[in-house]
Amino acid sequence: MAAFDPAEITRRWKGTLGETLGLRVVEASLDRVVAELDLKPALTTVGGTVHGGTLMAFADTVGATGAVLNLPPGAGTTTLESKTNFFAGCREGTIRATAIPLHRGRRTSVWETRLIGPDGRLLSMTIQTQMVLESK
């Protein structure tokens, strides 16, 4: 299983939504990407609970990272479809995302990303389809 430098992947997010959210990769391989996000008020609802959009953006970024790590040389990727189920809220602490591939094909890949709160509860699960964009 090929491993990648988590700090280098986190640096690649500089200037992107990943940086704005404060995401950091803690583990990355072809078969699994794990990242963390420290919840801050700017990422919550008026009521102080993590915003669903925060969870969706976090999951999309981590799943897409897995897709990127699996691309052939010169190819790119874009999200074709994404579905998120929400299970619990979170008001503070570190949220952990784990993305694994469900399918890796020539034209698409499908990733499942589970977000876990600091108390170990499943906050959400996202399934996304990434299209492989061939190099020109």
- Predicted confidence band at 2 (pLDDT cuts at 50, 70, 90)? confident
> Is the Cβ–Cβ distance between 90 and 123 less than 8 Å?
yes
H or E segment and range at residue 6: helix 6-12
Q: How far apart are CA 130 and CA 105, in angstroms?
A: 10
H or E segment and range at residue 104: strand 94-104
Domains of the chain, start order: 6-133 (3.10.129.10)
> Is the Cβ–Cβ distance between 21 and 57 less than 8 Å?
yes
Quote the pTM value.
0.94
H or E segment and range at residue 131: strand 122-133
What would the pLDDT profile of 80-123 be if each residue is shown by its tens digit? 999 999 999 999 999 999 999 999 999 999 999 999 999 999 99
Helix residue spans in 2-51 (DSSP H): 6-12, 17-21
